[in-house]
Amino acid sequence: MLQNRQPQDPGHVAVGDEVGRHVFAPPPDGNQTDVISGSGYMAPSAENPLPVYEALGLYDVASSTAVEAFCTQLDTSPQQRETIKWYSRALHEVALDIGRKVAESMGIVDSHDMVNGWPCQFRINKYNFTPQTLASSGLFIHTDSGFLTILQEDDTVGGLQVMDKSGAFLPVHPFPGTLLVNLGDVAAAWSNGRLRNVKHRVQCNEAATRVSIALFLLGPKEEVEAPAKFVDLEHPRLYTPFTYEDYRKLRFSTGLHAGEALSLVRLTPTSHN
Ligand SMILES: O=C(O)CCC(=O)C(=O)O
Ligand SMILES: [Fe+2]
């Protein structure tokens, strides 16, 4: 699902929220607030697979304390702080709105209530690409673990690639003034396999610093379970109900970051993930 995109661009893309080893840098006052694994500062690490990627994230964007702590970690000016607060609030609303519209489009009548209170993670990604990293992968292949992601790509430095049905990678070229919306593993499970979690990665195309901003609408605080509407004789329930937190831990503990962990919560033996 794409907003204001060129028609030849790929359909929907998933953006992950746990892309390596996270190192938590407490804010200068020593208070570590609202941090779950997958947020905080993530230092460059050989796991990614080049040590060029670093990120700063926060959980949950609805918490003003967490947003303030995030700005403090970035050492922002008062004006930058206001911009980040405004941007994260606005993007949060857009994410909830798109989540509702996805549910509505699939015939869910109480879509308004459905996404209320779903936690959102916010993250700034930075890729320190150099001439030596050209043609290598800056961020390994993964899916998002959550329901949907809104991604603001770098306006000039490309590199995002999504995998199509045949397993080929397609570039997603920068398109200033647009946001990219992707679906993750929770969307695939919640929809009983109707929505797809798309694999993607970031390649180094040029020796330049690349920045992207992601907002992840993670999923319900209670269990992720396909509504009865999506289950019938022809479409038996595919996944056992699970909490997002448990699923996230499963991805971390198994190292399965490209949607394969869904097969571990699958009820039926065959898997397309
Ligand atoms: O930087 C990008 O374009 C993609 C980032 C991404 O996939 C992520 O944050 O999970
Ligand atoms: Fe991603």
pLDDT at residue 270 tops 90? no
In this structure, is residue 237 part of a structural domain? yes
Residue 202 lies in a domain: yes
Cβ-count burial 213-235 (b if 16+ within 10 Å, e if not): bbbbbbbbeeebbbeeebeeeee
DSSP secondary structure of 150-198: EEE--SS---EEEE-TTS-EEE----TT--EEEE-HHHHHHTTTSS---
Report which residue type is found at 208.
A
The answer to whether residue 272 sits within a structural domain is: no
Enter the tokens of residue 149: 């992601």
Order of strands, sheet of 209-217, starting from the edge strand that comes earlier in the sequence: 40-42, 53-59, 120-128, 209-217, 148-152, 180-183
In a domain, 176, yes or no: yes
Q: Which of the ligands is closest to the CA of residue 157?
A: 1
What is the atom index within ligand 1 of the atom nearest the CA of 160?
Answer: 3
Å from CA of 42 to ligand 1 middle: 13
User: Which tokens in the block code for residue 38?
Assistant: 């997958």
> 231: CA distance to ligand 1 center in Å?
32
Residues surrounding ion ligand 2 at CB below 5 Å: 15-16
Domain range for 144 is 2-265
SS3 227: coil
Residues near 182 by Cβ (< 8 Å), separated by ≥ 6? 1, 12, 13, 14, 15, 144, 148, 149, 151, 198, 200
Q: Which ligand approaches the C-alpha of residue 198 most closely? A: 2
pLDDT band, residue 20 (cuts 50/70/90): very low
Nearest CA to ligand 1 atom 7: 15
Q: Which residues contact 251 (CB under 8 A, 6 or more apart)?
A: 18, 145, 185, 257, 261
Question: pLDDT digits over 106-148, tens only?
Answer: 999 888 788 999 999 999 999 999 999 999 989 999 999 999 9
Q: Which residues line ligand 1 (CB under 6 A)?
A: 15-16, 19, 123, 125, 139, 151, 153, 160, 200, 202, 212, 214
Collapsing DSSP states into helix, strand and coil, what is residue 263? helix
Q: For residue 50, what pLDDT is reported?
A: 67
Handedness of CA 172, 41, 249, 94 (dihedral sign): negative
Q: Whose alpha carbon is nearest atom 1 of ligand 1?
A: 212
Give me Rg for the CA atoms of the chain. 18
Model pLDDT, residue 7: 30
> pTM (2 decimals)?
0.86
User: Rounded mean pLDDT of 18-45?
Assistant: 50
Average pLDDT on 5-9 reads 29
CB 262 within 8 A of CB 246: no
30 inside domain: yes
pLDDT in tens, 47-95: 666 678 999 999 999 999 999 999 998 899 999 999 999 999 999 999 9
Tell me which residue has its CA closest to atom 10 in ligand 1.
16
Q: What ipTM goes with this model?
A: 0.99
270 in a domain, yes or no?
Answer: no
Which CATH number belongs to the domain containing residue 10 in this structure?
Answer: 2.60.120.330
Q: How many domains does the chain have?
A: 1
Closest ligand 1 atom to Cα of 144: 10
C-alpha–C-alpha distance, residues 190 and 186, integer Å: 6
On the question of a cis peptide bond just before residue 220, with omega within 30 degrees of 0, the verdict is no
The verdict on residue 181 lying in a domain is: yes
| Domain contains 273 | no
Closest C-alpha residue for ligand 1 atom 3: 160
